[in-house]
Amino acid sequence: MEISFTDIKQKFQGCGLKTTPQRAAIYDALLRSTTHPTAEELYAEVAPQFPMMSLNTVYYTLGVLRTSGLIHEVNIDHTRARFDANLSPHHHLICLGCQSIVDVIDPRLNRLTSPAGIPNDFEITSYQVAFRGLCGSCRRHTGRSINHSSPGLHPTTVKGGLHGKSS
Amino acid sequence: MEISFTDIKQKFQGCGLKTTPQRAAIYDALLRSTTHPTAEELYAEVAPQFPMMSLNTVYYTLGVLRTSGLIHEVNIDHTRARFDANLSPHHHLICLGCQSIVDVIDPRLNRLTSPAGIPNDFEITSYQVAFRGLCGSCRRHTGRSINHSSPGLHPTTVKGGLHGKSS
DNA sequence: TGCTAAATAGTAATTATTCCTAAACAGGAA
DNA sequence: TTCCTGTTTAGGAATAATTACTATTTAGCA
């Protein structure tokens, strides 16, 4: 995703945010990243350009961008927050071995029907599917054993292909 | 979900776990709960029965139960872990206002087709849909405004009913 | 060019969780 | 039943991520 400084500035202005070099660099780093980095990782990414920059600034900036809706927080495990500047509807593929997160872009997943049995005064504004399993590399290294200490694993085996019969 | 002490003991034995009163109480509390409590909340729930019990024991126990596959960790936000003893496939409805989590049980959601464009050596073992929005109570109190500081919100508006065409 | 509110950087504080260790105990063996 | 041993517990200390506080700096407007 290529984006110029001017583009970033316009986005920030559109949200009523001041444009500072640090802020632009953090946002740019997140836009270019595909790994859903943590605050610390973004800090490491941007720090070379701004040796005086504080990790605090990264946290503050991420908070501001999140509140403005320019980025999303992705919660894979409870230990640390990860961030995503990709606002288009997409889903995630999470490796339980190495905790990596890959974007899943499949339009079919954006057309789920409304779930049954939910309170009718609940207004759903979005939904997201998290696929979990083991990436090729982790399968080879761990002999396909699943790390049960990782979060959210369900016993449902999905295998190579999920079956798509309509109930 | 009703379960006797003997049932719990059998489950523990099946996993090679010793049965202690504290452990059984923690697991039982989680089985009876529908709110996906945190370690602290479970501690508060069980503490009256065991005044000497340490919060540490709750953490240790939850770790053991998770490793044994008896419970799951649910990650809604990065601030703290939440737990779920309901192992049957289900999904979650998350209120961005009050952070409450309600189970979504809809068989149609358990038959998603395999997502396109993922690495073909990735083995998916489970998936879970997180629906986000505002519960009735929070909508009334906040005037339907969505709290953008909450995690993972996507701009896709889902409204009352998602449309289920099979693109 | 100034003004002012917002942003930055630094330090300290907080919160959830994990680590460490001695004492207690569950469950199998004798 | 009683003993043994490894697991579990409880308590305190340590760690890691994040937030709070604050003085200084700066972006963006008048």
Residue ranges covered by each domain of chain B: 5-83, 88-142
Residues B104 and B93 sit within 8 Å (Cβ to Cβ): yes
- Out of A57-66, A88-97, A120-129, the most confident range is A57-66
**CB-CB neighbours of A91 under 10 Å:** 22
How far the first Cα of chain B sits from its last, in Å, is 39
Judge: B123–A144 Cβ closer than 8 Å, yes or no: yes
Q: Is A125 on the interface with B (CB under 8 A)?
A: yes
Tokens linked to B45: 């729930």
Average pLDDT, integer, range B149-161: 34
Residue A134: pLDDT band by 50, 70, 90 thresholds? very high
In 3D space, the residue among B126, B156, B69 whose CA is nearest the CA of residue A162 turns out to be B126
Tokens linked to B111: 């038959």
Pick B88-142's CATH classification: 3.60.21.10, 3.40.50.1980, 3.30.450.20, 3.30.1490.190: 3.30.1490.190
Which positions in strand C are less than 7 Å from the protein's CB atoms? 6-12, 15-20, 25-28
Look at A16-30, A141-155, B68-82, B131-145 and tell me which has the smallest mean pLDDT: A141-155
Region for residue A94 given its phi and psi (left: phi exceeds 0; alpha: psi -120 to 50; beta: otherwise): beta
Average pLDDT, integer, range B32-46: 97
Question: In Å, how far is B39's CA from the nearest CA of chain A?
Answer: 12
Residue B165: pLDDT band by 50, 70, 90 thresholds? very low
**B102: β partners:** B93
Q: What is the DSSP letter of B146?
A: -
Helix (H) or strand (E) holding B103: strand B101-104
Tell me the per-residue pLDDT of B84-143, one tens digit each, with 9 for 90 and over: 999 999 999 999 888 899 999 999 999 998 898 899 899 999 999 999 999 999 888 765
Comparison of pLDDT for B98 and A147, the residue scoring more: B98
Residue A152: pLDDT band by 50, 70, 90 thresholds? very low
Look at A71-75, A109-113, A133-137, B147-151 and tell me which has the smallest mean pLDDT: B147-151
Q: How distant is the alpha carbon of residue B55 from its chain centre?
A: 20
pLDDT at B141: 79
Give me the residue from B126, B135, B165 closest to A111, CB to CB. B165
Judge: B128–A130 Cβ closer than 8 Å, yes or no: yes
Identify the CATH number of the domain defined by range B5-83. 1.10.10.10
Q: What is the DSSP letter of A162?
A: -
Distance between CA atoms of A28 and A36, rounded to whole angstroms? 13
| Helices B21-32 + B55-67 axis angle, to 10 | 70
Q: Which residues contact A124 (CB under 8 A, 6 or more apart)?
A: A114, A118, B93, B131, B132, B133, B158, B159, B162
**3-state DSSP percent of chain B in helix, strand and coil, to 5:** 35, 15, 50
Residues A74 and B152 sit within 8 Å (Cβ to Cβ): yes
In 3D space, the residue among A115, A92, A112 whose CA is nearest the CA of residue A103 turns out to be A92
Tokens linked to A17: 């945010």
Judge: A114–B76 Cβ closer than 8 Å, yes or no: no
- Superfamily, domain A88-113+121-153: Ferric-uptake regulator, C-terminal dimerisarion domain (3.30.1490.190)
CB within 7 A of strand D (chain A, 48-67):
55-56, 59, 63
Distance between CA atoms of B163 and B39, rounded to whole angstroms? 38
